């Protein structure tokens, strides 16, 4: 353009010759085209892949040696490892692949994370980890779907036993405490209370009204919509809450025995309720067998933005509102991560074997929990 005398107006430049460079490149004809804008020939022996490291492999070496010496991981699953960390990753994922259940409701993944990456993830929260390790197992949660019991299914369960809905959410909470972060109605009520009732989930309408007046203004018509007596009935009636959160302590809901659940399974065997009660009984048995053992015992909570699933009592605008507010703040404030927690890998033979046993039982618990929650789809 700098050498061409023509303008951009074709009518003005009609008949004017275009500029051509004085030097003309020769025609390639039949000679090799190793010239301008062509790639040179690459020898066959040139490596096509590379691994970038930062000199921190030595930090995980001792831990990896102890992990293999404990006898849980199989060294035959390692092939052409680039270092100790890569060898451990191959063996660990081979062990994990045969045990991770395929789930229909719960959404989650696992990741191996080193100490430096964990420090970066939780640096904004002021956490001081007591149990430190060179490697961590991270539970990653990258999406969240809301499922509901629905009024029709709740009524069908109540017909079998008035306490069956209460028992359902009790077992879901108990399993979630030992495995995946799942939002249940008590979590939604707690989140709503933080937003609208000055963190007091057990407040009454009178106290809540005074707080809402300060927030919205005394004459705002939405105040009545946000009162506890209205909201609790929609997202968290006493039936689905632990007893300490009940608005009325005199409710007759009780926890059902496993024998009672098996009996209800036989009574409801002609429809979906039979399979549901059987799944609840199996989940209750798994929790009993685990006892006090927990994979999460020494884990570092990581302020997850998402949960593996939200299990709501019924379809409600309040659920959408509180989750939208949560995700908006997490996105704008940057105070959340994609991880539920970071579990430090053990480095002593006995504790290593106990940790893998707990992980194995936790994965089975996740499968049973998902089997229960399939009925919410």
Q: Model confidence over 275-309: pLDDT tens digits? A: 999 999 999 999 999 999 999 988 999 999 999 99
- pLDDT of 55 over the 50 cut: no
Provide φ and ψ at 310, rounded to 5°. Answer: -110, 125
CA 164 to chain centre: 28
Structure tokens at 289: 């067998």
User: Cα–Cα distance between 26 and 4 in angstroms, integer?
Assistant: 23
- pLDDT of 124 over the 90 cut: no
> What's the predicted TM-score (pTM) here?
0.83
- pLDDT of 23 over the 80 cut: no
Q: Do 326 and 181 form a contact (C-beta atoms < 8 A)?
A: no
Q: Distances in Å between the alpha carbon of 305 and those of 109, 335, 336?
A: 15, 8, 5
Structure tokens at 377: 């789809």
Q: If you compute the radius of gyration of the chain from its CA atoms, what whole number of angstroms results?
A: 30
For residues 339-353, give the mean pLDDT. Answer: 95
Tell me the three-class secondary structure of 213-247, residue by residue: HHHHCCCCHHHHHHCHHHHHHHHCCHHHCCHHHCC
* Half-sphere exposure of residue 338: CA atoms within 13 angstroms, side-chain side: 10
User: Cα–Cα distance between 171 and 174 in angstroms, integer?
Assistant: 5
User: Cα–Cα distance between 356 and 95 in angstroms, integer?
Assistant: 10
pLDDT at position 56, please? Answer: 47
Q: Do 69 and 89 form a contact (C-beta atoms < 8 A)?
A: no
pLDDT digits (tens, 9 = 90+) for 262-280: 999 999 888 999 999 999 9
- pLDDT of 41 over the 90 cut: no
Q: Strand 339-344 vs strand 300-301: parallel, antiparallel, or unpaired?
A: antiparallel
* Half-sphere exposure of residue 99: CA atoms within 13 angstroms, side-chain side: 16
User: Cα–Cα distance between 327 and 306 in angstroms, integer?
Assistant: 8
| Dihedral sign for Cα atoms in the order 169, 298, 286, 364 | positive
- H or E segment at 283? helix 272-290
Q: Tell me what percent of the chain is helix, strand and coil, each rounded to the nearest 5.
A: 50, 10, 45
13-17, 18-22, 155-159 — which one is most confidently predicted on average?
155-159
For residues 2-29, give the mean pLDDT. Answer: 56
User: Cα–Cα distance between 155 and 205 in angstroms, integer?
Assistant: 28
Taking the CA atoms of residue 209, residue 215, residue 217 and residue 218 in that order, the dihedral angle to the nearest 10 degrees is 20
**Residue 58 pLDDT level (bands cut at 50, 70, 90):** very low
Average pLDDT, the chain: 87
pLDDT digits (tens, 9 = 90+) for 207-225: 888 888 887 777 778 888 9
3-state SS class at 184: coil
Provide φ and ψ at 304, rounded to 5°. Answer: -70, 140
pLDDT digits (tens, 9 = 90+) for 146-185: 999 999 999 999 999 999 999 999 999 999 999 999 999 9
pLDDT at position 318, please? Answer: 94
Read off the DSSP letter of residue 163. Answer: T
Q: Do 336 and 303 form a contact (C-beta atoms < 8 A)?
A: yes
Query: Is residue 284 packed enough to be buried (19+ CB in 10 Å), middle (13-18) or exposed (0-12)?
Result: buried
Structure tokens at 30: 């039949």
375 closest CA partner among 309, 317, 319: 309
pLDDT at position 132, please? Answer: 84
């Amino acid at each position: 353009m700098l050498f061409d005398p023509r303008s951009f107006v074709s009518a003005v430049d009609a008949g004017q010759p275009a500029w051509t460079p004085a030097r003309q490149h020769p025609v390639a004809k039949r000679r090799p085209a190793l010239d301008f804008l062509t790639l040179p020939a690459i020898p066959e022996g040139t490596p096509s892949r590379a691994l970038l490291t930062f000199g921190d492999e030595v930090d995980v070496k001792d831990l990896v040696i102890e992990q293999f010496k404990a006898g849980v991981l199989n060294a035959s699953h390692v092939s052409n490892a680039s270092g100790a960390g890569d060898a451990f990753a191959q063996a660990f994922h081979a062990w994990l692949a045969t045990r991770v259940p395929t789930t229909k409701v719960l959404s989650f993944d696992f990741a191996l994370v080193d100490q430096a990456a964990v420090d970066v993830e939780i640096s904004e929260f002021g956490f001081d980890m007591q149990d430190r390790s060179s490697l961590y197992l991270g539970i990653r949660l990258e999406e969240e779907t809301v499922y509901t019991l629905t009024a029709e299914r709740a009524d069908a369960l109540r017909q079998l036993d008035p306490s069956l809905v209460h028992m359902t959410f009790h077992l879901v909470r108990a399993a979630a405490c030992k495995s995946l972060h799942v939002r249940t109605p008590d979590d939604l009520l707690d989140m709503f209370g933080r937003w609208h009732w000055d963190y007091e989930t057990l407040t009454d309408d009178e106290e809540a009204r005074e707080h809402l007046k300060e927030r919205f203004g005394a004459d705002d018509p939405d105040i009545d919509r946000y009162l506890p007596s209205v909201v609790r009935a929609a997202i968290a009636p006493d039936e689905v809450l632990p007893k300490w959160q009940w608005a009325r302590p005199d409710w007759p809901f009780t926890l059902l025995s496993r024998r009672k659940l098996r009996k209800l399974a036989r009574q409801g065997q002609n429809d979906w309720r039979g399979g549901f009660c059987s799944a609840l009984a199996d989940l209750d048995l798994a929790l009993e067998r685990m006892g006090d053992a927990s994979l999460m015992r020494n884990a570092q909570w990581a302020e997850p933005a998402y949960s593996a699933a939200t299990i709501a009592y019924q379809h409600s605008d309040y659920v959408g509102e509180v989750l939208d507010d949560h995700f908006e703040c997490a996105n704008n404030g940057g105070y959340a991560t994609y991880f539920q927690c970071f579990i430090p890998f053990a480095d002593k033979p006995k504790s290593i074997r106990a940790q893998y046993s707990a992980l194995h039982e936790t994965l089975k618990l996740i499968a049973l929990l998902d089997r229960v929650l399939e009925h919410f789809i």
